[in-house]
A and B are shown apart, each in its own frame.
Chain A
Amino acid sequence: MFARLVYESFRRQTRRKLLAGIAITLGVAVATAMIAVATDIGDKINRELRSYGANLVITPQEDTLDVEIGGINLKPPSDGAFLNEADLPKIRGTFWHHNIVGFSPMLPVRAKLTNRSQAEEVTLLGTYFDKQLTFGKEDFTTGVRITHPWWKVEGSCGDGAQPRPVRVEDSPANGTTSAKGPAETNGASSCGWPNDNSQDVLLGERLAAKLGKRPGDALEVSGRKLAITGILSTGSAEDDEIVAPLALAQQILGKPGAVRRVYVSALTKPPDALSARDPKTMSPEVYDRWYCSPYVESIAYQLQEAIPHSHAEQIRQVAQNEGTVLSRIKGLMLLVTLAALFASALAVSAAMATAIFERRVEIGLMRALGAGNVIVSAVFFAEALLLALFGGVAGFTAGSLLARQIGRSIFSSQISIQPVLFPIIIAIAVFVTFAGSAAAIRRAVKFDPVFALRGDA
């Protein structure tokens, strides 16, 4: 009888059930989408924060002081220690290598620039642009196009077309670069960027203006003829420099394999009480926990382990602020999600309350026929449960699609939905539906059947 009551209720009141079901579906969909976005926003914003550039720098352990003003190095170039370029792929072998978005080695050298028989000392910065490297069985690309996304190059495309501005943002800087083939990263946006194995260079925009050089012109540097593929604009010291493939800088310096420092861009966890502690004073368990958390400090420590005779340090301007920005945005989304959950819970409760209130007569009839409060409530709760389950499943599906759409349109990457979210969402849907029904059912059950049946409600 019980099952039949519930079944008939669904069969005969399809429209009413549909309305309540739609309300639950929409509420659950919004809740699912918001929870998915809120749980994933930290990761997404963390990747966006990488557009501030590297947050770690590796220098030789026995380095001498930098004597540098406004990007002009006054130190004798052969002075000081170097890192070995051959060690760099080992960065991909560290514990948190999945969090390392990219790295760029830097080797500034003094070079003699000959322009119209006038000689001038300039800084030539050797680096990777979009270098293909191999670590173990893994191929990956890295370089300034990933770690310095604000560098803009204006250059001519290979076929002698008109120079056009190239935005580096167009290149995939979302950390999945290592998984992609070089064909994708060297797409149309690579106009003007020199090849890492060539003798081509980028000319800083202020230096270019001073020399009157344009992309496609040649440059005589330290007795070598170099082709300018593009004009580089960075808004900082590189605007007065020549930026060249690392190998070329090493040739000019006469030290193959030498690297002055390496900038590493890594996804990190905001600092907390544990991150600031000195690993030397930790107990083994605390040390393991520290080592296995992607704090900027522990990643620096691991980089130092991976590269011999090196010293890795966080770039505080970037590393210290991203934690605050990240926690602010996460906190904001958490609060907004709470508001969304509240609003959808309310919508579901309101729909349920209305649906039950409309059925006072039915309840009055059941009670007049001798049904106890428990039985009447059980029928309605069973209906609510069914509605919540159907609405929950439909809402979860719709919400996942919504979250995916949000992720794709805003962050142009997927928002992953943890499977564990499904039971949680269903539980919340059932709970909210019950809570919304409970008050209405209680009121309906208390209502005198006589009045209900007389239609005096």
Chain B
Amino acid sequence: MSNAPVTLRTAKDVAKRRAHSPHTSMFMRMLIRAAMLRRGRAASALLAMIVAAAVATAMMNLYVDVQAKLRTEFRNYGANVVVVGKDGQALPREALRAIESALGTQPLAVPFGYAVARTSDGQSVVVVGTDFSRARQLNHWWNVNHWPAGSARSDASTSGLSASLPAKASDETAAPKRRRNAAHGVSRGPAPETMPAPEERQNIPVEALIGVRAATVVTPTRQPFDLSFQGKIIRLVPAGLLQTGAGEDSRIYLDQSEFENWTGVAPTTIEVAVNGSPDEIQQGIKRLAAALPTADVRPVRQIMEGEANVLNKTRATLYASATLVVLTSALCVLATLIGWVFDRRRDFAIMKALGASERLVNGFFAAEAAALGVVGAILGFCIGIGAAAWIGRANFHAPVVPRFTVFPYVLAGSIAVALISAVLPIGLLRRVQPAIILRGE
């Protein structure tokens, strides 16, 4: 940066500008010219400010948003609230709708009805009526090789429960993670003639989801089979196998309306996944209990406490990390800006030598720092939002929502750091005679 041509051009510029705009205040002109003439240094100070503001924005944004993101992940553990009829009674017909209206924000509620049926050779097996499309959304961990058609074929008018359900039981919406069992193949041929033909057998076989352990008992060859409940016999076609490693493996799952047509048993349990913080879930439970006085609403403690535990630890770690990162970047800005201001001690000395008051000089450097802080904060905020969105996409496959509430903090922080880094060197310089600085010592 050679000085001589700059001075010449400056002199010309100044003369020209004075002719055109005689009323521009000296203060503003000094601010602008200072930034223009030392573009390199000003740019590096601004860059540090922008990077720091961006990192701080991204961290704060993540900290606020990650909890919501992780909660969504934790909902993959399934229901955190269970609604059961008091003393084993069936739930009222409108229970599912009552739950949905009580919670408002589209909770995932899955009804389950249970009955014990007998196989043709007299073994007891638990049969469950449920809504497949909902169960599939709630229980992501169910390893199912092929989901039955579900409520698509059922007569919606016969059941108040399935009437309100979305009939989107297509198999491709959320393909099971592992199709290892698909190789078994599912026989859907005509019923073998060896079975007895009782009077009440239904004409169309019903598709069922068979737990892996139940399958070895009721239909080892994956053939259609009969089950009886209080003398009523149903013919079931194994549509798919279900593996969970828990009680579900010994059960047979049917569509809710088919199950009710056959057994007359209404749902006794509704599993609900309530989203939100522990407080929101507690309130949700209270609302549910008020909406369904005949039912028992219980939190699933295993799920709720595990979630709270892991989430708290993660949040604390993230908080510590974000604090460290923000502090480091503030430090970076501080170092750069102090260097920048210190570097301009000659400007400071000249201003004082020309008779500028202490207040004016301080005001000048403070205004400069504040301007730098504002510009840096705005640009850094935009970049930080982008960075947080990218992290969200890369890690959670969903963008982090920009939180504009973070902006005031970033802005205030930037200005504060900029001011501190301007005031510190000024305080040191004030004690030095301008003459000494100008002599270059």
Contact = CB atoms under 8 A, between A and B. Distances in A.
Contacts, number: 221
A162 B37 CA distance: 78
Interface stretch (A100-108, A120-128, A218-226, A334-342): A334-342
Contacts of A343: 51-52, 55, 325, 328-329, 332
Interface in B293-351: 298-306, 309-310, 313-314, 316-318, 320-322, 324-325, 327-329, 331-332, 335-336, 338-339, 342-343
Contact of B329 (A337, A347, A410): A347
Contacts of B320: 37, 406, 410
Interface string B63-81: 0001001100110111000
Nearest to B310: A48
B301 A234 contact: yes
Interface stretch (B14-22, B153-161, B244-252, B373-381): B244-252
A56 B318 CA distance: 30
Contact of A150 (B306, B327, B338): B306
A315 B245 CA distance: 4
Contacts of B66: 332
A305 B139 CA distance: 30
A316 B143 contact: yes
A340 B302 contact: no
B217 A65 contact: yes
Nearest to A149: B305
Query: Closest 6 CB pairs between A and B?
Result: A354-B339, A235-B301, A347-B332, A52-B306, A455-B440, A316-B141
A360 B251 CA distance: 81
B321 A321 contact: no
B217 A336 contact: no
Given A48-B313, A333-B321, A276 B178 contact: yes
B300 A236 contact: yes
A49 B310 contact: yes
Interface string B58-96: 110010001001100110111000001000100000000
Interface of B: 1-3, 44, 48, 51-52, 55, 58-59, 62, 66, 69-70, 73-74, 76-78, 84, 88, 114, 116, 123-126, 139-143, 177-178, 180, 213-214, 217, 243-247, 250, 268-269, 298-306, 309-310, 313-314, 316-318, 320-322, 324-325, 327-329, 331-332, 335-336, 338-339, 342-343, 387, 391, 394-396, 440
B325 to A, nearest CB: 5
A53 interface: yes
Interface in A330-359: 331-333, 335-337, 339-340, 342-344, 346-347, 350-351, 353-354, 357-358
**Which among A68, A69, A314 has the greatest number of chain B C-beta atoms within 10 A?**
A69
A57 B324 contact: no
Given A236-B301, A336-B322, A336-B325, A317 B244 contact: yes
A70 B317 contact: no
A164 interface: no
Contacts of A409: 316
B335 A351 contact: yes
B114 A69 contact: yes
Given A68-B126, A328-B70, A410-B320, 20 more contacts: A27-B328, A33-B324, A34-B321, A45-B314, A51-B310, A67-B124, A74-B116, A74-B124, A235-B301, A236-B302, A276-B178, A316-B244, A317-B77, A317-B139, A336-B322, A339-B55, A343-B328, A346-B48, A354-B338, A354-B339
A325 interface: yes
A23 B2 CA distance: 31
Interface residues of A, number: 80
Looking at B213, B332, B394, the one whose CB has the most chain A CB atoms below 10 A away is: B332
Nearest to B55: A343
Interface string A390-433: 00000000000010001001110000000000000000000000
A314 to B, nearest CB: 5
Contacts of A145: none
A66 interface: yes
Residue of A37, A56, A235 with most chain B CB atoms under a 10 A cut-off: A235
Contacts of B336: 350, 353-354
Given A236-B300, A276-B178, A335-B391, A317 B62 contact: no
A317 B78 contact: yes
Contacts of B44: 353
A71 B70 CA distance: 31
Contacts of B217: 64-65
Given A70-B88, A343-B332, A451-B3, A57 B246 contact: yes
A311 B396 CA distance: 35
A53 B306 contact: yes
A110 interface: no
A324 to B, nearest CB: 6
B332 to A, nearest CB: 4
Contact of A45 (B77, B142, B313): B313
A319 B318 CA distance: 24
A334 to B, nearest CB: 8
Nearest to B48: A350
A67 B269 CA distance: 17
Contact of A347 (B78, B141, B304, B328): B328
14 contacts: A33-B324, A53-B302, A57-B245, A66-B213, A316-B245, A319-B141, A320-B140, A321-B73, A321-B141, A335-B395, A340-B324, A340-B328, A354-B338, A456-B3
A37 B321 contact: yes
Nearest to A447: B1
Contact of A68 (B247, B304, B309, B332): B247
A315 B77 CA distance: 11
A351 B331 CA distance: 10
B124 to A, nearest CB: 5
A101 to B, nearest CB: 14
A44 interface: yes
Contact of B250 (A66, A150, A317, A329): A66
A90 to B, nearest CB: 21
